[in-house]
Amino acid sequence: MLALTCQVYAQSPLSCQPEWLDGDKPLEQRVEMILQQLSLEEKVALCHAQGKFSTPGVPRLGIPELWYSDGPHGVRAEINWNNWNYANWTSDSCTAFPALTCLAATFDPALARQYGRAIGEEARYRKKDVLLGPGVNIYRTPLNGRNFEYMGEDPYLASVMVAPYVQGVQENGVAACVKHYALNNQETNRGHILVEVSERALHEIYLPAFHAAAQAGAWTFMGAYNQYNGQHCCHNSVLINDILKGRWGWDGALVTDWGGAHDTRQAVFNGLDIEMGTYTNGLTSESSFGYNNYYLADNFLKGLKDGSYPVDLLNDKVRRILRLMLRTTLNPRRPLGSFATEAHAQTGREIAAAGIVLLKNDKGILPISSQVRKIAVVGENATRNLMQGGGSSELKPWRCITPLQALQRRYPEVEIVYARGYDSGKAMYSQEGTPSHDPAQLHEEALQAARDADLVLFVGGLNKNHRQDCEASDRKSYALPFGQPQLIRDLARTNPRLVVVLLSGNAVETDWAAQVPAIVQGWYGGSEAGTALVDVLSGDVCPSGKLPFSFPKKLEDNGAISFGELSYPGDGKRQVYMEDIYVGYRWHDTRRIPAAWPFGYGLSYTKFSLGKASVDKKVCQAGDMLTVSLPVTNTGSCRGAEVVQVYVSQPKASVGRPVKELKAFQKVWLEPGETRTVSLEFPVASFAFYDESLHDWHLEAGDYQLLIGTSSTAIQASLKTKVQ
């Protein structure tokens, strides 16, 4: 009788738990134990949604459902079961973490690990099993509305930063869902655009960060909306079967983006495991369709029963889903998590400050002098909650410190006046009351506030409105919107002690920069955005961020844009990546088109000198590791950090290659006068290019240069090595 009781109540948390909950048994053994107990109908049910953000479990066996949540920067507020309205809970106000462009700008993988761990703790506390992030699509143009969710233009930087983020999230028994796999580099026509890209560019530029995430053990990937090789990316035989699950040997579950599935047969045969959001176009309700109408639901079941689809393919999908469940919701050892804590807020603050990039600082106008007695703060972004909007990354933070609030707290003895300056078109209200929405009046009020100030802080940039930094739409202009360029010029003429702070996730045109003594790229900094910004402006924190993407001087200087409409945004049906492997600084440096602000660039309040560099091997083999070493000295007056960057160049190659490609970097913090030897190790195999004739990587014998510097253009040393 006891045996019968244990069999019936297999889900009991007491001594008669099923064997597949025994964490000491091998994972694959436990997967097979569950698989053998499932009916055909139960298996199919695991492969598709049962709600907006949930997929079924197996109630008969006590296996709970899986719960998913946006997004890469925080755990989104609760959404209703079957529509996109917010559920209006009072217990879902999260910590908003900095956007991933800001994280990438830290050039600090240790901070990426902290970020992942903290956001994973929040997801775990909120009983989420899959966190829909991070995003690692490559920054191809400055017009992409979702660039702020990604990690910049360089595949190596994104690879180094994504791995610890994934591992940090998954320490909590929460799956990272790496997105959007692959080639989702614009929002315009994202649902159907057919991307045509060379095999070489695919592997050299657009896949490495996904590969790094797979190697780091990411438990789920999210397919992209667009098409590649004639198939939608959520069920794409080349991307999923051949590369992700084949060549890379990845054992996780491939999830659609919401509404990303389009065909049952392709979903069955081309690697899709979990179907979400079908018939919603990612944005709307299901209308008359139920979850049983999904492509991997009734149609799949029918095809299995009549022999159209092999059961082996179903079992592969279910094994992947069961692995996910055993790693998350069926993992009895996962921690409890924590939510919206001061510790998480401080983690976000540290990351936000470390990512802020000082672009210009003539005459030492920053940090803010102790002699300043009146500060004029101009700009809507000084008072705006920039966590709102942006699509799926929208958050409901438990607090959001604006730049104006942070300045008032940091400088209680200083007179601080605020003028909105420009109007983004949304109803916004400052602390000083209801502002005028007349652009001319706002402009004049800003100039009046600036006239007799000791310092003017213009806090502008973009926001997460439609056609700015926002999902489902791209920007229409490279220039700052809402008349900001003219306002900046007029402010500079009115008061030369002007600091321009750009809050955005994208590069913007800075043709006004010559008239401004100080410029700061502040990103979207999360709950503590204002505090972190003022930490840097005040000098409490020395700026150490580096640009994760180039700022072209003008839009046409961008590689993708330069080739015309078919290259970006396409003709409505297809687009061709005509710049090929020459993305970002690879384009600017190789084509000798200087950027306004180059990749890897960022100033400090202190100064650094790089000593004589050396490499440990003058002649090397394909399997070797190389180490570049050099002393770095802080020659200034405050503690600060420099990012030493090593680029590789092959002057004589059998194929076209960029002038330089980043292969190693290290961030080093130094006290004034301190010298430390920095050693950067990287594999010789990373010098290889993708050979389309071999359909594989190829390392050519010959001479290579190792270029050491502090940005893609600030190269201070060159070493040689020969590959035999």
- Identify the domain boundary among 521, 548, 575: 548
- Domain CATH for 461: 3.40.50.1700
Report DSSP letters for 463-484, one per residue.
-SSTTSSBTTB--S-SS-STTH
In a domain, 346, yes or no: yes
| Whether 535 and 666 share a structural domain | no
- Identify the domain boundary among 496, 530, 548: 548
Identity of the amino acid at 485 = P
13 pLDDT more than 70: no
Instruction: Report how many domains make up the chain.
Output: 2
506 pLDDT more than 60: yes
In a domain, 33, yes or no: no
Options 70, 92, 257, 557, the catalytic residue: 257
Distance of CA 80 to the CA centre of its chain: 26
Pick the closest to residue 454 from 515, 372, 516, 379 (CA basis).
372
- Domain CATH for 698: 2.60.40.10
pLDDT band (50, 70, 90) for residue 287: low
In a domain, 412, yes or no: yes
Residue ranges making up the domain that contains 621: 608-723
340 pLDDT more than 70: yes
Report DSSP letters for 34-56, one per residue.
HHTT--HHHHHHTTB-SBTTEE-
What is the layout of strands, in order, in the sheet containing 715-723? 619-620, 715-723, 702-709, 640-649, 661-670
In a domain, 631, yes or no: yes
538 pLDDT more than 50: yes
Query: What six digits make up the tokens of 26?
Result: 């091998």
In a domain, 56, yes or no: no
Look up tokens 């969710």; give the residue.
149
Pick the closest to residue 650 from 663, 667, 636, 664 (CA basis).
663
557 pLDDT more than 50: yes
| CA-based R_g, the chain, Å | 26
pLDDT band (50, 70, 90) for residue 433: very low
First-residue to last-residue Cα distance in the chain: 72
Conformation bin of residue 638: beta by default, left when phi > 0, alpha when psi is -120 to 50: beta
What are 515-530's pLDDT values in tens digits? 999 999 999 999 999 9
What is the per-residue pLDDT for 288? 64
Residue 694 and residue 678 in contact, taking contact as beta carbons nearer than 8 Å: no
| Whether 538 and 414 share a structural domain | yes
Instruction: Name 427's Cβ contacts closer than 8 Å, sequence gap at least 6.
Output: none
| Whether 476 and 355 share a structural domain | yes
Identity of the amino acid at 260 = G
| Whether 534 and 643 share a structural domain | no
Report DSSP letters for 195-233, one per residue.
EE--HHHIIIIISHHHHHHHHTT-SEEEE-SSEETTEEG
429 pLDDT more than 70: no
What is the per-residue pLDDT for 363? 85
What are 138-186's pLDDT values in tens digits? 999 999 999 999 999 999 999 999 999 999 999 999 999 999 999 999 9
Look up tokens 């003429």; give the residue.
493
Would you call 511 a catalytic residue per the annotation?
no
- In this structure, what DSSP letter does residue 590 have? H
| Whether 378 and 466 share a structural domain | yes
| Whether 362 and 474 share a structural domain | yes
Query: What six digits make up the tokens of 453?
Result: 């100030």
In SS3 terms, 288-314 reads as CCCHHHCCCCHHHHHHHHCCCCCHHHH
pLDDT (mean) for 306-314? 98
Least confident of 76-80, 94-98, 548-552, 572-576: 76-80
Residue 349 and residue 535 in contact, taking contact as beta carbons nearer than 8 Å: yes
CA dihedral 276, 277, 283, 284 (to 10 degrees): -160
463 pLDDT more than 70: yes
Q: Give the three-state DSSP class for 368.
A: coil
Higher pLDDT, 578 or 291: 578
Query: What six digits make up the tokens of 240?
Result: 């999923």
| Cα angle for residues 362, 365, 366 (degrees, 5° grid) | 110
What are 19-77's pLDDT values in tens digits? 988 889 999 999 999 999 999 999 999 999 999 999 999 999 999 999 999 988 999 99
In a domain, 306, yes or no: no
| Whether 540 and 662 share a structural domain | no
- Measured CA to CA, the distance from residue 63 to residue 489 in angstroms comes to 62
Stated pTM of the model: 0.95
Percentage of residues of the chain with pLDDT beyond 70 = 95
Q: Are strands 715-723 and 661-670 parallel, antiparallel or unpaired?
A: unpaired
pLDDT band (50, 70, 90) for residue 82: confident
What is the per-residue pLDDT for 388? 87
- Measured CA to CA, the distance from residue 707 to residue 680 in angstroms comes to 12
- Measured CA to CA, the distance from residue 641 to residue 667 in angstroms comes to 6
CB atoms within 10 A of CB 284: 12
Pick the closest to residue 505 from 357, 712, 715 (CA basis).
357
What is the per-residue pLDDT for 434? 42
- Measured CA to CA, the distance from residue 171 to residue 26 in angstroms comes to 18
| Whether 391 and 481 share a structural domain | yes
pLDDT (mean) for 472-491? 96
Look up tokens 């600091």; give the residue.
499
| Whether 714 and 631 share a structural domain | yes
Identity of the amino acid at 353 = A
- Measured CA to CA, the distance from residue 346 to residue 357 in angstroms comes to 19
| Whether 440 and 365 share a structural domain | yes
What is the per-residue pLDDT for 432? 32
- Measured CA to CA, the distance from residue 549 to residue 153 in angstroms comes to 5
What are 600-632's pLDDT values in tens digits? 999 999 999 999 999 999 999 999 999 999 999
In a domain, 226, yes or no: no
What is the per-residue pLDDT for 436? 52
Q: Give the three-state DSSP class for 519.
A: strand
What are 539-549's pLDDT values in tens digits? 999 999 999 99
| Residue 3: burial class (beta carbons within 10 Å; 0-12, 13-18, 19+) | exposed
Enumerate the H helices of 495-580 as residue ranges. 529-538, 559-562
- Measured CA to CA, the distance from residue 195 to residue 226 in angstroms comes to 7
Mean model confidence pLDDT for the chain: 94
- Measured CA to CA, the distance from residue 262 to residue 278 in angstroms comes to 8
675 HSE (CA, 13 A, CB side): 7
What is the layout of strands, in order, in the sheet containing 66-70? 54-55, 66-70, 130-132, 175-181, 220-223, 253-255
Percentage of residues of the chain with pLDDT beyond 90 = 91
93 pLDDT more than 60: yes
What is the per-residue pLDDT for 389? 87
Q: What are phi and psi of 586, to 5 degrees?
A: -60, -35
Residue 387 and residue 96 in contact, taking contact as beta carbons nearer than 8 Å: yes
Q: Give the three-state DSSP class for 340.
A: coil
- Measured CA to CA, the distance from residue 88 to residue 305 in angstroms comes to 43
| Whether 480 and 365 share a structural domain | yes
| Whether 416 and 522 share a structural domain | yes
Residue 395 and residue 76 in contact, taking contact as beta carbons nearer than 8 Å: yes
Pick the closest to residue 68 from 115, 126, 149, 137 (CA basis).
126
- Identify the domain boundary among 528, 548, 568: 548
Q: Give the Å distances, CA to CA, from 154 to 150, 256, 550, 615, 627.
A: 11, 25, 10, 24, 21
In a domain, 380, yes or no: yes
Report DSSP letters for 669-682, one per residue.
EE-TT-EEEEEEEE
Instruction: Name 440's Cβ contacts closer than 8 Å, sequence gap at least 6.
Output: none
Residue 620 and residue 724 in contact, taking contact as beta carbons nearer than 8 Å: yes
